[in-house]
Structure 1
């Protein structure tokens, strides 16, 4: 079950008369703000108390045993009143607060600058600078920081929002940024990976709604040239030629035979050692030297449907089994949409990427994308299957 507070008072509680909503949808996605939109009647006791950009809305999941957990915290962005005498309250998750602070230009060295630092420490510095600029309710404590990476010189010559720089950091270093509220304390984490989920699998014929498999070659490379830092003696970047038999590129012979020569570059502007550059280049090459096989499933969270299983949490990985579509793997929960009034209608989206260069993945399509979709499941049975090739 779910209950909702607005600035600490119940906006919705299934057991309290007058604290009702007419609609409520919570959307959570990996590395995004998330949103929660709820509708109330205009004579709701809290209707006149809604303050745009200030009122905080929290969604709390609770059970009959007294356990409860805040699963969402957001700020009211907009309100819409309609002819049915209802008000829709539109909120965005509290990660949006990082769009309210600006990181000013800074040099590699100096006072109160990040200097040469790892992604994790750079993240901590960004949060500190954000907290110095904003209201108390927009501030966060540093929580879990498990991201790893090489230290690099940091400098900027522009005025960017903290959120924009965080997005750039994730694009460069990977990982996941999330916020969470525990015991009234608001944390922000930067994770290398989410925690593993447990207690509930996603299985065909049980809780899977849709299955989509996309096979694409858009980002395929069969040769990769790693480029390192530029040195003072040579304006050209460091390459791996000296430690790679005179060749400045890495090659996947099987992929070349399959798809031909497709050359791309990858930059590591902080690396000056050719051996280290080759190691990092090989890691990057594994991500782009094959066909991109993306599997996406939509499923029902059985815990919302009344089953005694652990809830599905955004970002975590669960085991998915759909033998008809050759899916037997861990997939990440990338999106969750929760119907706060009818939790059984909620669903999650799971996605995963596998890399392969075998022609079997492309089958007879010769490069065409193949989609396989289960359109409906009723009483545990597949009602209709549509296949497009």
Structure 2
């Protein structure tokens, strides 16, 4: 079993942008129109930081556009809600299982979309996870591999798991 952790979707410095600000230039294209920012209600800064995520992943800047927001204080609140609700990482596992269904029809075959209870004390997993990808070698069918999981985890959950794994390896 191999674990893949993908923190690429994480934003640690968010620039929330609101509705377009009408330009006085009648010839200005839509793409050149400025958008509402939070600078006026955020001490002159047009961004929000998630310090916990920055400590773990560094500064990763990203923008989120809220077209329906017309007030800076509401924009700041929506931006903070976005930062608080995002997950720190997407975790998936690659598994090379023994597919007993090839020799015994009483066992269920592995199929994409199915959920299976995965237990692995080394990775501290004991939960149902979904098969999201399956690779089958038609010449050697017993060499199949599965990708399971693709589960989003919060920073707190991510750090707790990392600490548990460190202690487990030390023991």
Same-fold call, TM cutoff 0.5? yes
Deviation per CA, 1:190-246: give whole Å up to 9, x if none: xxxxxxxxxxxxxxxxxxxxx112456666543322224423248322234577787
Report the Cα distance in structure 1 between the residues aligned to 2:115 and 2:51, rounded to whole angstroms: 33
User: In the alignment, which residue of structure 1 is the partner of 2:81?
Assistant: 282
Specify the structure having the higher radius of gyration (Cα). Answer: 1
Q: 1:361 aligns with which of 151, 162, 167?
A: 162
1:267 aligned residue: 64
1:231 and 2:21 aligned: yes
CA RMSD between the two structures? 4.4
Name the CA shift for 1:304/1:239 in 2 (closer, same or farther; >3 Å). farther
Distance 1:246 1:362 in 2: 38
| Structure 2 spans left out of the alignment, 5+ residues | 25-32
Please state how far the C-alpha of 1:324 moved relative to its aligned partner.
2.1
Q: Is the 8 A contact 1:293 1:356 kept in 2?
A: no
TM-score under structure 1 length normalisation: 0.30
Judge conservation of contact 1:301–1:348 (CA < 8 Å) in 2.
no
Larger strand proportion, structure 1 or 2? 1
Query: 5 Å matches for 1:1-389?
Result: 211-214=1-4, 220-233=10-23, 235-240=33-38, 248-256=46-54, 258-259=55-56, 262=59, 264-268=61-65, 271-273=67-69, 275=74, 278-279=77-78, 282-283=81-82, 286-287=85-86, 290=88, 292=89, 294-298=91-95, 299-339=97-137, 343-353=141-151, 354-356=153-155, 358=159, 361=162
Q: Structure 1 pair 364/352, CA: closer, same or farther in 2 (3 Å)?
A: closer
More helix by share: 2
Which consecutive unaligned segments of at least 5 residues does structure 1 have? Answer: 1-210, 366-386
Q: Which has the higher contact order (CA 8 A, sep 6+)?
A: 2
- Residues 254 and 226 from structure 1, CA distance in 2 versus in 1: closer, same or farther, beyond 3 angstroms? same
TM-score (ref. length: structure 2)? 0.57
Q: 1:271 to 1:329 in 2, by over 3 A?
A: farther
Could you tell me how far apart the structure 2 residues matched to 1:306 and 1:242 are? Answer: 68
After superposition, what is the alpha-carbon deviation per residue over 1:52-104, rounded to whole angstroms, capped at 9, x for unaligned? Answer: xxxxxxxxxxxxxxxxxxxxxxxxxxxxxxxxxxxxxxxxxxxxxxxxxxxxx
